[in-house]
C-alpha cells in the first residue's frame, strides 16, 4: 500500500518523477553504448571470472564511456525544488521564513528535543570517543564499559546491545555487536544464499556491473585507506545488485524498483522484471557505504549480510524522497534549521556570499560521512546510528562541524573558500563535537 511507503502524496509524486529521470538516463546510456541491460556470459568468460573472483580489482575494463547515473548534487537539485502544493508560504519574509534550500514544512527536532533523544551522549555519561582517550585512566569508564559489552555479547541480547552501543563500541567488540544488533547470524543458509548470488554474478553480466566498477574505481580505490579493500567491494556490490530479497524493503521505502520489460513485450506485466534485480541503481559514491565495513568483517558472506542489512535499514533513506524523520529531506531540513536557529550570523553570512551551507554538507550526509571522516571516527558515529536507530545524528554532526569551524567560515567570501575550509574533516573527533554542540553550547 502506497501510504506505508510514503504518506504524503506530493513526496510520492516527486520520488516517482525522479525515478523516471534516473531510468531514462540509464536507458539512454544503454542505447548509446549499445550494451544490453543484461546478458548471459559465455562459458569461457564465466570460468575466467570465477578464477579472478578474489582479485577483480586487477581487471581494468574500459569504463571511459560509462558515467554514473547520477551524483548527489543532482539529487540535491531535486530536493531543493520540492514544494508542498497545500502549503501557502506567503511572499512576505518574516522571522519564520526558512532561509535554507529546503522549502517543505516537515517537523524536525530542535535542540531541547535532540538533547532528550540523545540523552546518553550527555556530558555526564561516559562515551567511547571521549572518555577512552589516553589522558583518562581506563578505570574511570573504559574498563567497565568493555566488561558490560562482553556480557551483552555473551547473553546475545540484541536490545541490550542496541542500548549499550549508544555510548560507543570497544574496537574489539564492534564487529560482533553490530551483527547482534542487525540480527545477522552465521547460519549455513546465509552462506549458501551468498554463494548462490555469486553464481548469478558469474553467469550473467549486468550493465549496472560496469557502473559499480566505475564507482569503485573512482571513489574507494582512490581513497587513502579503503583502496586495500577494493576486491571485497566488488564481491559485495555485484552480489547485492542481484539480490532479489532486497526488493522487500520497497514496502517501506518511498522509492519503487525500476521495471523493465522483456524485449518486445513492453507494457505486458507478465513480462516485467525489476532492473537491476535488487531494484537499487547505484549512484556516484555508493560503494562508500560498504568500504568502512571492510574494516570489521573479513569473511565475504558476513560482510555482505551486514551491508545488506545496513542498507535496508538505514542507507536507502539517504537517497529517496520521503517525509520520514530519518529521510534525507528531513535531515537536510534539520541541518538547516539547527544552523539558522543557533548560528544565525554564520548562516546569514554564508547565504549572502552564495555558499548555502547545505550545498557543502549534503554530500556528507548522503554518504553518512563515509570517506570524509577518519575510519575510527566514522565507526563511532555509525555506532550511534545503530544505537538510536536513526540517521538524525548525521544532520546534528554536520551542524556541529559548521559550528566548530565558524570562525574561519565567517571570514570567507566565496563558496569555493567555504568549501576549502570544510574540505578536510579527517582530523575531526566526532563525539566531542556532538557533545559540545548539543550539550555545552549556550542556546
Binding site for other proteins (CB under 8 A): 54-55, 58, 133-134, 171-172, 174-175, 221-222, 224-225, 227-232, 294-296, 298, 375-376, 427
- Nearer CB in complex with other proteins: 230/336: 230
Give dist(CA 430, CA 393) in Å, integer: 11
Rg (CA), the chain: 22
- Residue 164 or 335 having the CB closest to other proteins: 164
Q: Measured from the CB of residue 170, what is the shortest distance to other proteins in angstroms? A: 9
Is omega for the bond preceding 347 within 30 degrees of 0, making it cis? no
In the complex with other proteins, which residue's Cβ is closer, 34 or 427? 427
> How many other C-beta atoms are found inside a 10 Å radius of the C-beta of residue 215?
25
Minimum gap (Å) between residue 353 Cβ and other proteins: 24
Minimum distance of other proteins from residue 61's CB (angstroms): 14
Q: Least distance from C-beta 216 to other proteins, angstroms?
A: 13
Q: How far is 300 from 286, CA to CA, in rounded Å?
A: 18
Q: Which long-range contacts (CB under 8 A, 24 or more apart) does 380-385 make?
A: 380/128, 380/129, 380/168, 380/169, 380/430, 380/431, 381/430, 382/292, 383/128, 383/165, 383/166, 383/168, 383/169, 383/174, 384/118, 384/121, 384/165, 384/166, 384/168, 385/314
Our CB check for other proteins shows the closer of 17 and 222 to be 222
Cα separation of 434 and 51, whole Å?
47
State the pairing for strand pair 259-261/272-274.
antiparallel
CA gap 142, 127 in Å, rounded? 8
Find the shortest distance in angstroms from Cβ 229 to other proteins.
5
Give bridge partners of residue 273 from the DSSP assignment: 260
Cβ atoms of residues 103 and 29 within 8 Å: no
Instruction: Rank residues 174 and 242 by Cβ distance to other proteins and give the closer one.
Output: 174
Nearer to other proteins, 40 or 298 (CB): 298
Q: Minimum distance between the CB of residue 222 and other proteins, rounded to whole angstroms?
A: 6
Q: For other proteins, which is the closer residue by CB, 209 or 230?
A: 230
- Least Å distance, CB 332 to other proteins, is 30
Amino acid at each position: 500500500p502506497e501510504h506505508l511507503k510514503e504518506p504524503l502524496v506530493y513526496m510520492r509524486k516527486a520520488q516517482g518523477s525522479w525515478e523516471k529521470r534516473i531510468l531514462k538516463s540509464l536507458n539512454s546510456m544503454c542505447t548509446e553504448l549499445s550494451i544490453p541491460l543484461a546478458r548471459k556470459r559465455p562459458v569461457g568468460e564465466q570460468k575466467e571470472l570465477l578464477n579472478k573472483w578474489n582479485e577483480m580489482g586487477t581487471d581494468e575494463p574500459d569504463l571511459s564511456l560509462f558515467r554514473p547515473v547520477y551524483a548527489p548534487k543532482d539529487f540535491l537539485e531535486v530536493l531543493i525544488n520540492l514544494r508542498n502544493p497545500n502549503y501557502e508560504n506567503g511572499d512576505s519574509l518574516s522571522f519564520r521564513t526558512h532561509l535554507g534550500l529546503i522549502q517543505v514544512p516537515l517537523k524536525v527536532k530542535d535542540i531541547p528535543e535532540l538533547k532528550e533523544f540523545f540523552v546518553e551522549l550527555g556530558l555526564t555519561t561516559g562515551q567511547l570517543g571521549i572518555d577512552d582517550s589516553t589522558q583518562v585512566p581506563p578505570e574511570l569508564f573504559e574498563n567497565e564499559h568493555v566488561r558490560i559489552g562482553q556480557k551483552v555479547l555473551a547473553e546475545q541480547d540484541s536490545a541490550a546491545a542496541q542500548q549499550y552501543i549508544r555510548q560507543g563500541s570497544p574496537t574489539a567488540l564492534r564487529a560482533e555487536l553490530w551483527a547482534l544488533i542487525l540480527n545477522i547470524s552465521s547460519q549455513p543458509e546465509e552462506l549458501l544464499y551468498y554463494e548462490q548470488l555469486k553464481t548469478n554474478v558469474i553467469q550473467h553480466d549486468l550493465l549496472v556491473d560496469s557502473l559499480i566498477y566505475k564507482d569503485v574505481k573512482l571513489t574507494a580505490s582512490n581513497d587513502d585507506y579503503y583502496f586495500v579493500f577494493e576486491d571485497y567491494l566488488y564481491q559485495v556490490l555485484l552480489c547485492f545488485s542481484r539480490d532479489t530479497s532486497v526488493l522487500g524493503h520497497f514496502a517501506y521505502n518511498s522509492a519503487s524498483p525500476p521495471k523493465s520489460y522483456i524485449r518486445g513485450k513492453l507494457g505486458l506485466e507478465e513480462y516485467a522484471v525489476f532492473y537491476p534485480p535488487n531494484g537499487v541503481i547505484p549512484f556516484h559514491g555508493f560503494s562508500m557505504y560498504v568500504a568502512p565495513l571492510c574494516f570489521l568483517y573479513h569473511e565475504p558472506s558476513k560482510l555482505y549480510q551486514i551491508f545488506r542489512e545496513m542498507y535496508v535499514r538505514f542507507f536507502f533513506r539517504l537517497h529517496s524522497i520521503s517525509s520520514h524523520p530519518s529521510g534525507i529531506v528531513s535531515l537536510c531540513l534539520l541541518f538547516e534549521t539547527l544552523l539558522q536557529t543557533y548560528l544565525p550570523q554564520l548562516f546569514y553570512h554564508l547565504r549572502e556570499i552564495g555558499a548555502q551551507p547545505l550545498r557543502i554538507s549534503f554530500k556528507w550526509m548522503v554518504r553518512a560521512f563515509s570517506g570524509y571522516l577518519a575510519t575510527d571516527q566514522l565507526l563511532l558515529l555509525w555506532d550511534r546510528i545503530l544505537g538510536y536507530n536513526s540517521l538524525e545524528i548525521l544532520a546534528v554532526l554536520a551542524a556541529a562541524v559548521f559550528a566548530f569551524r565558524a570562525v574561519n567560515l565567517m571570514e570567507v567570501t566565496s563558496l569555493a573558500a567555504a568549501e576549502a575550509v570544510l574540505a578536510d574533516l579527517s582530523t575531526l573527533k566526532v563525539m566531542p563535537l556532538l557533545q559540545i554542540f548539543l550539550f555545552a553550547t549556550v542556546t
